[in-house]
Structures are given as C-alpha cells and as structure tokens.
Amino acid sequence: MDREEFERLCLPCYAKVLHLCERWLGCPSRAEEVAQETFLRAYRARSSYRGQASVSTWLYRIAQRLCWEVARKRAPTALELPQFEVVDEAAQQAQQARLTSLALLSRLSQRSRSLLILRAALELSYAEIAEVLEIPINQVGVYLQRARAEATSLARQEGIL
C-alpha cells in the first residue's frame, strides 16, 4: 500500500476512528491525539496490511489497542468531560445526554465499553467486532449480552434507564 492508496483508503475512516476514541476515552483532545497516533501507526505498518480485514476494521483495532494502552498507563482519574458552549435549551439537553453517555461508558469494564461502543455507536457487525477485539465470533453475542446487562444495571442504579 503506497502513500496515495493509504490516504485514499484510510483517511475516509478518520471521523469514525475519532468517534471510537472519543467515546472510549471521554476526552476530545486526548481522543484526537490517539486517533492521529492510530493513523501514524497504521501508516508505518501499512506493508503488514494484507487485506484480510477491511481497512476500517484494521484501523479500529489499532485505535482500540491504543485506547487500552492509554487506560493502562494512566491511573484511573475522574472523567475529563469535554466543555461545550451552551447555546440554547436543545443544545443543553444534547450536552447533558452526551455527558451522561460518557459518564456511563467510563464506569463500565473495558471490554463492555468496547463492545457497546463498537456495536451501538459504530454499528459494527459481530464479525467486525470479533476482528477488532480479536475474539472468536461465536463469543461476541455472549460478551455483548454481558456488556448490556452490566450497562443496564448501572444505568438503572443511576436512574437514567
């Protein structure tokens, strides 16, 4: 994969990779750093891409690993919530929903968080989720069910579901 091909195939995925990082990390600035690092690593490793997985799945896998690395290196801290300028009531509600979502995700186990983001936010299929998380495809449903049970229980405790 030369530079031109890399740009043509990979750059259209940037928004979704950033979305994954932002959902996972909860902090827009750090998410942007991780998303950029994802593309840097992908570019360096472009010769190893054999086309077994789709380009987007390959990028998600790199991004997901980087998110795990960030979580491993950093001691758990309070969620760094993004700051928004509140324009009107609708924007305020949207902000509240967004913050609620990030707060909920931040309290889930790492695997559950990944599964729910990949499925609900990025709408990946079980096969794609299996590739990103490097787990057997027949386990995706089982893990996803656990993740949903964990999130439902937490959301109920917090009175947001």
Partner 1 sequence: MSDPNLMAYYDGELGSEQRLQTEQHLQVCQPCREQLAEWKALDALVRGEGPGELRPRLRLQDRQSGWKPTLRAAVCLLVLGAIWYLRPAQRPEAVPLGVQSFEVRHGACRYRVETSGARLLMVDLEDENGRAQAQIGGES
DSSP 76: P
Stretch that binds partner 1, among 35-43, 60-68, 80-88, 148-156 (CB under 8 A): 148-156
CB 25, min distance to partner 1, A: 14
Q: Is 16 a binder of partner 1 (CB under 8 A)?
A: no
d(CA 66, CA 142): 24
Using CB under 8 A, pick the residue from 11, 69, 97, 109 that binds partner 1: 97
Stretch that binds partner 1, among 36-44, 53-61, 77-85, 138-146 (CB under 8 A): 138-146
Q: Is 107 a binder of partner 1 (CB under 8 A)?
A: no
Tokens of 31: 């998410």
3-state secondary structure 82-111: CCCCCCCHHHHHHHHHHHHHHHHHHCCCHH
Size of the chain in residues: 161
Q: Is 151 a binder of partner 1 (CB under 8 A)?
A: yes
Q: What angle do CA 6, 8, 10 make, to 5 degrees?
A: 60
Nearer to partner 1, 71 or 120 (CB): 120
Q: Is 146 a binder of partner 1 (CB under 8 A)?
A: no
**Binding residue count for partner 1, defined by CB under 8 A:** 29
d(CA 157, CA 160): 8
Closest listed residue to residue 161, CA positions, set 117, 97, 118: 97
Nearer to partner 1, 37 or 80 (CB): 80
Nearer to partner 1, 42 or 131 (CB): 131
CB 70, min distance to partner 1, A: 20
